[in-house]
């Protein structure tokens, strides 16, 4: 059975026969990124702060960089979920004053941000903390107060499956036994993403509860760099198809 047949069966069972002149199905993605609390958290909540709202950790307004959800806890269109993805994103640190800098100036000014003496990069502790974060947590998603998903270690089993990645091994130590610094990230292979079978239909205005919880305690803390918190966003991406009015 193809994905198209599964989706059509769900629609026919829910709405009956549709007039294609009035509605259309388009590939669509709902996403939400929240700023990670560097001290750790017992739970990370998604889709609760809509576009234009204030992220409680970053204290800045959310733009389309962070979310495309316009209503708290609701989707704007009926939506069929076919894939679930998570994202651990270290915000870029460019030259001070550049338009893409998303880190504090003290961090962007670090000369040895990636490498330093004895093979331990200045950000080594950050990468270690995020590696530990990737092995924890439980993703819980409910629609209309009914739980649909309960996924352990979502950063491993629901990788983002898109975008660039840089795996770096640098030898910086003295003598014949150089130290090593290793940076790794989530899988970029689209074949590794979490496939929802059968697809799940979320109706418009249905209440959405989506959290990554840490039932064994607080999630890993991220050490400071140059006395500043490293800006890290955690994302939840629901990929699928929206039922939209015809254009």
Give residue limits of the domains in the chain. 25-193+206-245
Which residues lie below 8 Å from residue 117, measured CB to CB, with a gap of 6+? Answer: 172, 173
Around Cβ 218, how many Cβ atoms within 10 Å?
13
pLDDT in tens, the chain (247 residues): 667 677 767 766 666 655 555 778 889 999 999 999 999 999 999 999 999 999 999 999 999 999 999 999 999 889 999 999 999 998 887 665 566 778 888 887 776 554 444 334 567 788 889 989 999 999 999 998 899 999 999 999 999 888 766 555 555 555 544 444 556 677 777 778 899 999 999 998 899 999 999 988 899 999 988 888 999 999 999 999 998 876 5
Q: Is residue 33 a contact partner of residue 63, using CB atoms and an 8 Å limit?
A: no
In the three-class reduction of DSSP (H, G, I as helix; E, B as strand; rest coil), residue 161 is classed as: coil
Query: The tokens 């799940």 sit on which residue?
Result: 200
Instruction: For residues 77 and 158, give the distance between their C-alpha atoms in angstroms, rounded to a whole number.
Output: 24
Cα diameter, the chain: 74
Interior angle at CA 36, CA 33 and CA 38, nearest 5: 165
Instruction: For residues 219 and 35, give the distance between their C-alpha atoms in angstroms, rounded to a whole number.
Output: 14
Residue 68 CA to its chain's centroid (Å) = 13
Q: Is residue 222 a contact partner of residue 123, using CB atoms and an 8 Å limit?
A: no
Instruction: For residues 246 and 26, give the distance between their C-alpha atoms in angstroms, rounded to a whole number.
Output: 10
Q: Is residue 126 a contact partner of residue 143, using CB atoms and an 8 Å limit?
A: no
228 has which bridge partners? 225
27 has which bridge partners? 241
Terminal-residue alpha carbon distance, the chain: 30
């Amino acid at each position: 059975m193809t994905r198209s047949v599964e989706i059509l069966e769900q629609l026919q069972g829910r709405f009956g026969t549709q007039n294609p002149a009035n509605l259309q199905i388009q590939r669509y993605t709902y996403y939400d990124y929240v700023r990670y609390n560097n001290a750790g958290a017992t739970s990370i909540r998604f889709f609760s702060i809509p576009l234009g709202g204030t992220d409680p950790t970053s204290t800045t307004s959310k733009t389309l960089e962070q979310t495309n959800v316009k209503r708290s806890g609701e989707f704007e269109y009926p939506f069929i979920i076919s894939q679930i993805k998570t994202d651990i994103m270290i915000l870029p640190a460019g030259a001070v004053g550049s338009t893409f800098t998303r880190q504090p100036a003290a961090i962007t000014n670090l000369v040895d941000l990636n490498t330093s003496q004895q093979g331990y990069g200045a950000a080594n502790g950050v990468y270690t903390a995020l590696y530990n974060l990737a092995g924890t947590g439980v993703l819980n998603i409910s629609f209309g107060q009914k739980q649909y998903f309960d996924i352990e270690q979502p950063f491993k089993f629901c990788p983002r499956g898109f975008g660039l990645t840089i795996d770096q091994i640098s030898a910086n130590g003295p003598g014949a036994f150089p130290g090593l610094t290793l940076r790794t990230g989530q899988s970029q292979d689209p074949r590794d993403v979490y496939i929802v079978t059968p697809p799940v239909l979320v109706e418009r205005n249905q209440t959405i509860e989506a959290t990554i919880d840490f039932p064994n305690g607080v999630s890993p803390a991220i050490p400071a760099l140059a006395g500043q918190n490293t800006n890290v966003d955690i994302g939840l991406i629901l990929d699928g198809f929206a039922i939209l009015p015809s254009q």
